[in-house]
Structure 1
Amino acid sequence: MTVVLDGGVQLAAGLGAAAACWQATRSRPGPGDVWRRLILGGLAAWSAGQAVALGYDLADPGGDHVPSAADVGRLALPVCALLALLAIVGRAHRQPGGSPRRERVVLVLDTLLVSGSLLALTWSALLRPHLAEAGPAVAYPVLGVFLVVMVLLLLLTRPTPPPLRRNLALLGAGFLALAGADLVRVRELAAGGPGPAGTALAVAAVALLAVAVRLPEGADGPPARTHAAALLLPYVPVAATGAFIAVRAFAGRPLTAFEAYLGWLGLGLVVARQWLTIVDHSTLLARLAEGRLRFMHQAHHDPLTGLANRTLFKDRLAHAVERHRRQRLPVAVLFVDLDDFKQVNDQLGHAAGDRLLREVGDRLLGCVRRDDLVARLGGDEFAILIEGQAADVEPVGQRILAALREPFAIESRVVTVGASVGLVIPDDGDGDGLSADALMRRADTAMYAGKRRGKGALVRYAGGGRTDLDLPLLLARALADTPASSGFEVHYQPVVRLTDGATVAVEALARWRDPVAGVIDPDVFVIVAERTGMVAAIDDFVLDRACADAPLLAERHGTPVDLHVNVSAGRLGEPELERAVAAALRRHALDPHRLVLEITETRRIHDLTAAAAAATRLRALGVRLALDDFGSGFNALAQLHALPVDIVKLDASLTAVEREPDRAGALVRSVVAICAELRVAVVAEGIEREDQAGALARLGLDLGQGYLFGAPRPVDRGPAPIAPVPAPSPAAAPATEPA
């Protein structure tokens, strides 16, 4: 009767636990809860086994029913529990780079090592006297111990997901209670009488498993850190077993067959585990080597185009310069900058711009030898390092220009960009101070000189071979001291009224004669100054000198004249410019109305709103503003619309009316009409012939500037002679003079 009562209690507990698990899995479906459904299946099978066992006990009380069909159901629970634990292992290794299959194999091997070692240690001393008569039923507690060991290994030596650690601990407690129940049951079978301890443990086991399934997952977070000592845990019982066997052998006590089998099994498991460890280490070393190569490639190559990046290029260039210095091996650098690339980004988007950059990189690679290095330095700037040849480098640059002039098919659109190329080739006269940075600056200077002269050209650096002729370095030295003492001067070119040739203003222009390099072209040193952030020093020098020369200029011309001073567009909006202007006016007591600041259009004004606010503040001082080189730079009409300017200076490319009289005339008349509506005066630049001056006057222009009226000269040389200018036809109304 007691057996039937115990069986009924266990059956009821199993059914209740299965029902609780079923309810939990229904409310929490998903692939992450596979382990819960496996535990549910195991509990259902275990309950079915208990039902069959109860039926046997009712039909044949006191009969021996081991093994029986009931054992199949009871055995299903540890099997399902094992699969559930392996599912949890797979969940922990779902991240990229994880290997669930490998981790499951290693976990099973470690569990077998620990369980087998524990069994070998306890068999002779503890278990064999009590379980000798149990027969196959001894497998149940062994399976329970196996599950407990696996849970401990998961908690102590594996990066288990933190949300599942509480569930795992409850599962481990349930497996421990189940192993205890099975062990008590085996001892009861061996003793021939039942007892309540096994029933209590079995009820506790299924209850703990049900709580583990129903317990919600905890807070997410990083996996718990695994200490190095924990990794040695599987080998502790192995070492203890080895010591135990050694002591028995030394004492002359032979091993039983079962102990010998366990020993050989343990040895095989250790060998297999070490083999997996060696494989893991080899794989890890291979991945580290591969990752290092990938990292080195990423660190030295542009991710967009796959070309070398600035770091690799400068490193290779430094080695090439060293070989040139030691062995006189030829070396050349080509600096390539795309023309009007921003328009592609603005019109087609950055994705189209990225595709264009990739295709540009491919074309550059097609223009050079396999051993030449092509790099993307950033943005739309590229550089090419050519070693071992110097005579044939210019044709390479021409091939690049021709290749980039060909249209690109981007986003179902035909795009043409072109490029400007700067070339530098150091010669045998270079000193020991030649450096990679110096060559890069020279190539950059040559490229921007070509861009300023009209784009789409190859310009070779002609500043000399010696390092002390490096223009950025020379310019920095000159501006660090007093510019006037380093060869800087200010020359003045007249702005005249086309109707009578009278000078109404002069434009102040910087000129530089370096004591070492000689005369440096303004187009070159201005670009270098803009690129290196030194243009403000030149602007401020010219501004101060022009304001100081105002009385002398008035004396030379017999009347006060307006002063036009160039200011880099990038400075408009900077407080330093406004302070410099106010200080110069105050220092030289110049009438602010006589000062005209010319904003060059060759540099983009990035923030027109801030620039407009700064222009308004400058005009509040009494200073007037002019847009220089109008029509040749960036967003001419946008700047005319946004900035409160007083004067527009038409670029020479628009005033060459003799090339296409009808087309050029239409453009000039349009600009004059727009400016008349805005009450803005117009000055024609680049006038070199009398017929050109007459044609512009007939188109409605009243003011002009160019070599026809005088080249830029220092103030102490006096005004240049004014060539006679034909009067415009009576039908042409003169433009308004600057107010």
Structure 2
Amino acid sequence: MARSGGVPTRGFPADAPARGAPRTAVGTAASSPLRLTAAAAAMLAVVVLLVVALLAAIALAGAESRTAAITSHVAQLTASGLATTSLGVLAWRRTWHRVRRPAALLAVGCGLWFAGQLSWFVSETVGPPLPDVSFADALYLGFPIFMATAVLVPLRRTRLRQLRVVLDGVIIAASLFVISWVLALTHVTSEENRPDDALVLIVSLCYPCLDIVAITMLLLGISRMPVNRVILGTLVVAMTLIATGDTLYAYETVVSSFQVGTAVDLCWLVGFGVIAVFASIAWTVDIRTVPAPTSETPEEWESSQSRVLSMLPYLPVMAALCILAVRNVVGSSDPVSELVTIVVLGLVLLRQYLTLRDNRNLTADLAARERQLRQQAFHDVLTGLPNRALFTQRVVEAVERHRRERRPLALLFIDLDDFKTVNDTLGHPVGDELVSRVGARLRRLVRSTDTVSRFGGDEFAVLVEGDHDSLAMADRLVGELRRPFALRVQPLAISCSIGIAHVAADADTPGVDELFSRADIAMYAAKRAGKGQRSAHHPAMVLPEADDLHFRPLLIDDLAAGRIHCLFQPIVALDTRQLVSLEALARWHVDGRQVDQGYFIALAGRSGLLPALTEHMLDLVAAHLAAWNEQFDCADLKVSLNVPPGLMTDLSFPARVVAVLDQYEVDPRQLALEITEDALLGDYRTTQVVAQRFRELGIQVWLDDFGSGYSSLLSLRRIALHSVKIDLEFVANIHRDAEAEEFLGAMLRMTRELGLVTTAEGVELAEQADILTALGCTYAQGFLFSEPIPAPAVEAMLRRGYGRRPPTVAPVVAARPALEAEVVERETPPAVPTGAVDDAPDSCAVAPVGR
């Protein structure tokens, strides 16, 4: 009465992992080891007691005695019943079909074996006896059939892989058949032992043959499945015991007469006991920590298997060959076993041929993937050009050749001008197509020995080695890239800026990073020169960002320490040439030398320091106004302060301004805020609210550099403006250009129609002042009247006669501060807004000053 078993070849038992839960790597063991639970310990104790009881019965009452037979029947029924119950509970507790279905099928198979054993037990103890072939055999054979159904899970593989698996199965099954044939079946089928009833022979052979199928599937699973090897290995042990018992049963049934109550019964008892104990362990173990393989393909998994596991299917082959060798040594031979062995060896050779063929395909596949990975690692996907990594490697080699052989080289950095506009207006697909076309054109324009690379975005680079005119090449590239590109949407022309770093043969060999830096600096110099140009690097070139690295921390420290100074430039009434207001201008000195105002303000903007700078200047202005009000009783003196556009969209800004003025007890009407036209281009609705709030507080808002930006007449009416300041560009040539004078007159008439007070900036000549007066301009500001002066000079001016009739004294002009050699002191509007002014009472006169 042989009983076979098995398990699914894919992940049994393994519960479903939680959705989204991480899975362990394929081929790794479970993260939580199997534990001997209380239920498993109890079942193990029961199995041990049954084994001891059977051995005691055999030893005391004798083998094949009635006591031993009854003890054996009860022990086998108990073991198979425990296995059935454990598997049924496992199937009930697990919801995932990969566990529930195999466990349920195994439970049914064990239940059939239990029923067959029970019917035999009843027939022997109560009667009548069962015939040689009965319905009990059908029940017994149902166990391996359900076992095979439980483990039969199709593997998603290629045809070649499927053929290899089939060959492995046939090889294992044939080898196990040879072993079984030599040890037992050859005696079963011999003429002297062959039963007269063919049905008895067939049924007897079905037991070991079905066991061979089950063990074959288990060995296939344990050699190929990346998880649950402990489970499969345990069931292989159980199945081997059951198969051994079935083989001995078949032999004894045919040769003599099988009797219950012998040591053969231990095979079935222990086999089903192992299944029962292991199934009970699986009740409580978190099988989700042992997930089945998901994303990894069988090909990928098989390549990672160890040599021992990959050789596991061939262990039966070696065992069969060893048994045949021993049999030949003792002088015995059998045509059936020899024929099957020859077939097995042929199948092994075929299997190895398929393996070599598969390995050859895998090798070719890996070589193709390696080429693809190398292409992706060192080439740009969009253009196919070498990327930065490969280009840098070649530059390193070129630099080394220059060091050894004094071979000249040149590095060209190419940046497409206004490429962002192409992406923003025509879309990124068009931008990608343009980049691809540019790369193809660059490849055609350079020599085969040169290296063209795409660094990313709209940046390209060319490495030129040898005696070649890199300047001429750059000129050719600039000209050729100007030619329109025939894109799918429309023809498109674009320019480029090229920076050149040339290393002559007799020059010192630079480092790679230094060479890249030179080309980068030269490229930005070409862009600053107007784009669409090329520029060769020379030592005097530096990036603006390089200056920022030096000056930014100094600016942060000086601003925090209050070392930013304030100068004041007078604004006068053109008809009386009297002082009406002052514009506050920030000045910064480093190591006793003044930093260029344009760079200083731009650096503050790039560093996000304009709000802090404005608040610092507001504090200085309020402090000076408070002091002057106390000393000179000049509460009607107005000072204008530049405000960056960002603060005009800050709804809390008016409250902060008023807080500072209240702190120094300064009338808000003494302060004016100057904004540039940029403030009218952004969130003008918020700017309108902020400007209206300042008007309600008595603080005037002036528009600086009027005419130089993009403001419209509608914008001028939207914002609560009081004054506008005419940009100096409209004033510079009015004394020698009639058209400039006429245009300025039109601007002044327009502002008067809008009810705005006008101030002309940059007035340097008396002729300009006279023309402005004739055109009806109200106020003026410039070097003709005064340069920016420090607070003590303002106090001297106020002391001489602010609020009285103009004194007949020498003009009050401050001495120029010391400047850096490269700084032009001609007062031009700073990068932040300057100011305008309203009507003011008589004040101190400032006499015209000649240049």
For the criterion TM > 0.5, the same-fold answer is yes
Change (3 A) 1:362 1:686: farther
Counterpart-to-counterpart distance in 1, 2:265 and 2:146: 21
For 1:489-568, list aligned pairs within 5 A.
500=574, 543-545=588-590, 565-568=601-604
1:432 is matched with 508
* CA shift for structure 1 position 641: 7.4
Counterpart-to-counterpart distance in 1, 2:626 and 2:384: 58
1:557 is matched with none
Change (3 A) 1:408 1:123: closer
Q: Does 1:570 align with 2:636?
A: no
* CA shift for structure 1 position 727: 1.9
1:689 is matched with 733
Counterpart-to-counterpart distance in 2, 1:598 and 1:256: 108
* CA shift for structure 1 position 422: 1.8
RMSD of Structure 2 on Structure 1 (CA): 6.8
1:267 is matched with 345
2:45 is matched with none
**After the TM superposition, which of the residue ranges 123-132 and 25-34 deviates more from structure 2?**
25-34
**After the TM superposition, which of the residue ranges 207-216 and 257-266 deviates more from structure 2?**
207-216
Secondary structure in 1 matching 2:509:
coil
2:218 is matched with 151
Change (3 A) 1:549 1:266: closer
Counterpart-to-counterpart distance in 2, 1:338 and 1:115: 73
1:362 is matched with 436
For 1:238-249, list aligned pairs within 5 A.
238-243=317-322, 245-246=324-325
Deviations 1:22-44 (A, max 9, x none): 99699969699776798799899
Q: Does 1:310 align with 2:388?
A: yes
1:179 is matched with 243
Counterpart-to-counterpart distance in 2, 1:618 and 1:296: 65
Change (3 A) 1:247 1:299: same
Amino acid corresponding to residue 288 of structure 2 in structure 1: A
1:471 is matched with 542
Counterpart-to-counterpart distance in 2, 1:145 and 1:285: 36
Change (3 A) 1:544 1:432: same
* CA shift for structure 1 position 309: 3.8
Secondary structure in 1 matching 2:375:
helix
For 1:107-146, list aligned pairs within 5 A.
107-110=165-168, 112-113=170-171, 116-117=174-175, 120=178, 124=182, 128-129=186-187, 132=190, 133=193, 135-136=201-202, 137-146=204-213
Secondary structure in 2 matching 1:432:
coil
2:287 is matched with 218
**After the TM superposition, which of the residue ranges 272-281 and 120-129 deviates more from structure 2?**
120-129
Change (3 A) 1:297 1:625: farther
Q: Does 1:385 align with 2:456?
A: no
Counterpart-to-counterpart distance in 2, 1:394 and 1:639: 49
Counterpart-to-counterpart distance in 2, 1:118 and 1:440: 71
Counterpart-to-counterpart distance in 2, 1:308 and 1:114: 53
> How many residue pairs end up in the alignment?
620
* 8 Å contact from structure 1 (residues 178, 205) kept in 2: yes
Q: Identify the match of residue 727 of structure 1 among 772, 783, 791.
A: 772
* CA shift for structure 1 position 381: 3.5
* CA shift for structure 1 position 364: 1.8
Amino acid corresponding to residue 250 of structure 2 in structure 1: V
For 1:6-155, list aligned pairs within 5 A.
78=144, 81-82=147-148, 84-87=150-153, 90=155, 99=157, 105-110=163-168, 112-113=170-171, 116-117=174-175, 120=178, 124=182, 128-129=186-187, 132=190, 133=193, 135-136=201-202, 137-152=204-219, 154-155=221-222
Q: Does 1:190 align with 2:254?
A: yes
Deviations 1:358-379 (A, max 9, x none): 233233235433476665544x
* CA shift for structure 1 position 425: 3.4
Counterpart-to-counterpart distance in 2, 1:671 and 1:384: 45
* 8 Å contact from structure 1 (residues 497, 504) kept in 2: yes
**After the TM superposition, which of the residue ranges 493-502 and 357-366 deviates more from structure 2?**
493-502
Deviations 1:479-499 (A, max 9, x none): 59999xxxxxx9x99988597
2:497 is matched with 422
* CA shift for structure 1 position 383: 1.6
2:62 is matched with none
1:335 is matched with 415
* 8 Å contact from structure 1 (residues 505, 564) kept in 2: no
Secondary structure in 2 matching 1:253:
coil
Q: Does 1:396 align with 2:477?
A: yes
1:257 is matched with 335
Query: For structure 2, which runs of at least 5 residues remain unmatched after alignment?
Result: 1-65, 67-72, 195-200, 294-303, 555-563, 628-637, 665-670, 695-700, 735-740, 752-756, 780-834, 841-851
2:367 is matched with 289
Counterpart-to-counterpart distance in 2, 1:242 and 1:32: 38
Secondary structure in 2 matching 1:736:
coil
Counterpart-to-counterpart distance in 1, 2:625 and 2:310: 84
* CA shift for structure 1 position 125: 5.3
* 8 Å contact from structure 1 (residues 420, 448) kept in 2: no
* 8 Å contact from structure 1 (residues 112, 146) kept in 2: no
Secondary structure in 2 matching 1:425:
strand
Q: Identify the match of residue 461 of structure 1 among 531, 535, 538.
A: 535
Change (3 A) 1:275 1:408: closer
Amino acid corresponding to residue 310 of structure 1 in structure 2: R
* CA shift for structure 1 position 151: 2.0
* 8 Å contact from structure 1 (residues 598, 626) kept in 2: yes
The structure number with the bigger radius of gyration is 2
* 8 Å contact from structure 1 (residues 615, 643) kept in 2: no
Amino acid corresponding to residue 212 of structure 2 in structure 1: V
Query: For structure 1, which runs of at least 5 residues remain unmatched after alignment?
Result: 484-489, 509-541, 554-560, 655-663, 711-719
* CA shift for structure 1 position 144: 1.0
* CA shift for structure 1 position 458: 0.8
1:528 is matched with none
Deviations 1:487-512 (A, max 9, x none): xxx9x99988597499965978xxxx
1:717 is matched with none
Deviations 1:534-583 (A, max 9, x none): xxxxxxxx722599769xx9xxxxxxx999844342311599x769979x
Secondary structure in 2 matching 1:334:
strand
Amino acid corresponding to residue 432 of structure 1 in structure 2: D
Change (3 A) 1:72 1:208: same
Amino acid corresponding to residue 369 of structure 2 in structure 1: G
* 8 Å contact from structure 1 (residues 421, 447) kept in 2: no
Counterpart-to-counterpart distance in 1, 2:475 and 2:572: 44
Counterpart-to-counterpart distance in 2, 1:507 and 1:172: 92
* CA shift for structure 1 position 211: 11
Counterpart-to-counterpart distance in 1, 2:683 and 2:383: 33
* CA shift for structure 1 position 335: 1.8
**After the TM superposition, which of the residue ranges 613-622 and 105-114 deviates more from structure 2?**
613-622
Secondary structure in 2 matching 1:458:
coil
* CA shift for structure 1 position 396: 3.3
Deviations 1:59-78 (A, max 9, x none): x9876659xx9999987875
1:737 is matched with 837
Counterpart-to-counterpart distance in 1, 2:290 and 2:117: 40
Q: Structure 1 vs Structure 2: percent identity of aligned residues?
A: 20
